[in-house]
Amino acid sequence: MKESLHRLLELQEIDKEISILERSKEEFPDEIERLKSELESARKSIQETEERVTELESGRRAMEGELETISEDLKKHQDRLYEVKSNREYDALQLEIESLGNRKDEQETGILQSIEDHEDLSGKLNEDKSAFSQRETEIQERIDDLKSKLGSVEGDIKGWMNKRKKIENGIEAPALSSYNRIRRMVKGGIAAVAIKKGACGGCFRQLSPQLLVEARRTDKLLRCENCGRMLIWKDEVLV
């Protein structure tokens, strides 16, 4: 029985590796999709910023065109001041000139603000593109690594399963049956644990002196009264 109990610990370590690989079959694709989504989100953000930069350029050109029209109109009105023949006509023309002057000031202010906004946004865009380029490289390397690992998972699982079968052959049937049954019941699939410093290696509950004496004999299956895991004494353990 002693050899069977010790082999159960070996079997447990193998099952841990298999569980990790099984989880990776689900986690790796999820991680790959998460990374792709991160890239797509960053790419979309850059595209939106580029569109905003283009809008600012178009808006500025439109304002510059309107400013040119206003300036020409203003000059015509100013030239007409020398042609008016009445005070009433002169006053009306002055009002139009004042209105055009205000509009000209507004357009110039708008153009200056647009230029400033364009410079700020262009600077941010360049920074975002640089950061994206670096992050894209990192993410692509990570994705390639995950795909590579994912491609070898099945082979790794098969290798561990072969080792598992060899270990199983050296375990007495009752012990193996109990192990498999408990493994399906307990959290994390950890069914067999070594006793560590007088405590269960699974839940860390201190064990009674009597149970420790029985465990040290390694002649029968023992379970933790708290978590239900199989308790196995290892010769090097200190109590």
Domain residue spans in the chain?
A: 2-170, 174-232
Residues 13-45 have pLDDT tens digits of 999 999 999 999 999 999 999 999 999 999 999
Confidence of residue 218 (pLDDT cuts 50, 70, 90): confident
Mean pLDDT over all residues of the chain?
A: 93
How many CB atoms are located within 10 Å of the residue 179 CB? 24
Stretch 48-68: mean pLDDT? 96
Confidence of residue 232 (pLDDT cuts 50, 70, 90): very high
Give how far the C-alpha of residue 154 lies from the chain's centroid of Cα atoms, to the nearest Å: 25
% of the chain with per-residue pLDDT over 90: 90
Token pair 């239900």 is found at: 228
% of the chain with per-residue pLDDT over 70: 98
Q: Which residues have a Cβ under 8 Å from the Cβ of 133 and sit 6 or more positions away?
A: none
Stretch 177-191: mean pLDDT? 93
Contact 156, 14 (CB under 8 A): no
Confidence of residue 239 (pLDDT cuts 50, 70, 90): very low
Stretch 91-113: mean pLDDT? 95
Residues 122-175 have pLDDT tens digits of 999 999 999 999 999 999 999 999 999 998 999 999 999 999 999 999 999 999
Q: Is the pTM of this model over 0.85?
A: no
Q: How far is CA 200 from CA 77, 207, 219, in A?
A: 98, 7, 18
What residues are paired with 232 via a beta bridge?
194
Contact 229, 191 (CB under 8 A): yes
CATH code at 2-170: 1.10.287.1490
Contact 177, 199 (CB under 8 A): no
Give how far the C-alpha of residue 238 lies from the chain's centroid of Cα atoms, to the nearest Å: 43
Q: Tell me, what DSSP letter sits at residue 194? A: E
